[in-house]
Chain A
Amino acid sequence: MTGAPVSRRLRGLVFWSGIAMLCVWVLAPIYLIALGAFGGRAGVFRWPKSLMPWDTTLAAMQAFLAVDGVWAAALNGALVAGLTMLFSLLLGAPAGYALARYAFAGQSAFRMLVVLTRAFPLAILALPLTVTFIRVGLYDTAVGVALVHTALALPFAALVSSSLFMGIPRELEEAAWVFGCTGFQAFRKIVLPLALPGLAAAAIFAFVISWNEVFAASVLTVRNKTLTAYLLTVLAESPLHFRFAGGFLLILPSVVFMFAVRKYLFAMWGVANR
Chain B
Amino acid sequence: MAGITIDRIEKRFGAVAALRELSLEVADGEFIALLGPSGCGKTTLLRIIAGLEQQTAGRIRIGGRDVSALPPRERGLAMVFQNYAVFPHMTVYENVAFGLRMKGASDADVKTQVERASGLLHIEPYLERYPAKLSGGQRQRVAVARALAVQPAVLLMDEPLSNLDALLRLEMRSELKSVLAASGATTVYVTHDQTEAMGLADRVAVMHEGVIEQIDRPQALYERPATRFVGGFVGSPPMNFIDMPVSGGAARLGAFSSPVAAGDGLVTAGIRAEDIAISDSGGLPFDVVVCEPLGATLLLTGRIEGQLARVAARPDARVRPGDRLSLSPALDRIVWIDPQSGRSLGASPGAAA
Interface locus among A43-51, A108-116, A147-155, A266-274: A266-274
Q: How far is the CB of B9 from chain A (nearest CB, A)?
A: 19
CB-defined interface of B80-106 with A at 8 Å, one 1/0 digit per residue? 011111111100000000110011000
**Interface flags, A156-198, vs B, CB<8A=1, else 0:** 0000000000000101101111111110010000100110000
B192 at interface, CB cutoff 8 A: no
| Candidates B52, B78, B102, B139; contact of A174 at CB < 8 Å | B52
B98 partner, pick from A179, A193, A269, beta carbons under 8 A: A179
Instruction: Please provide the chain A residues from 239 to 274 with a CB less than 8 Å away from any CB of chain B in the complex.
Output: 269-271, 273-274
User: Is B81's CB under 8 angstroms from A273's CB?
Assistant: no
Number of interface residues of A (CB under 8 A): 21
In the complex, chain B residues 139-161 whose Cβ is within 8 Å of any chain A Cβ = 139, 146, 150
Whether B139 contacts A181 by the Cβ 8 Å rule is no
Given the known A-B contacts A269-B132, A273-B131, A274-B83, are A178 and B72 also in contact in the complex, defined by CB atoms under 8 Å? yes
Interface residue SS majority, chain B: mixed
Chain B residue with Cβ nearest A274: B83
Neighbour of B79 across the interface among A172, A175, A185, A190, CB < 8 A: A175
Chain B neighbourhood of A169, CB < 8 A: 83, 85
Once the chains bind, are A175 and B71 in contact (CB under 8 Å)? no
Q: Do B83 and A269 have beta carbons less than 8 Å apart? A: no
CB nearest to B102 among chain A residues: A180
Contacts of A185 in B (CB 8 A): 102
Which residues of B have CB within 8 Å of A273?
Answer: 83-86, 88, 131-132, 139
> Which of B50, B51, B130, B132 has the most chain A CB within a 10 Å cutoff?
B132
CA of A180 to CA of B131 in the docked complex: distance in angstroms?
21
A172 proximity list for chain B (CB < 8 A):
85, 87-88
- Is B77 positioned at the interface, with any CB of A under 8 Å from its CB? yes
Q: Give complex CA distance A172, B85 in Å.
A: 5
Residue of B nearest to A182 (CB): B73
A residues in contact (CB < 8 Å) with B: 169, 171-172, 174-182, 185, 190, 193-194, 269-271, 273-274
> Apart from A172-B88, A180-B73, what 5 extra A-B contacts exist at CB < 8 Å?
A174-B52, A176-B98, A179-B150, A194-B89, A269-B88
Seen from chain B, the residues whose Cβ lies within 8 Å of a Cβ on chain A are: 50-52, 71-73, 77-79, 81-89, 98-99, 102-103, 130-132, 139, 146, 150
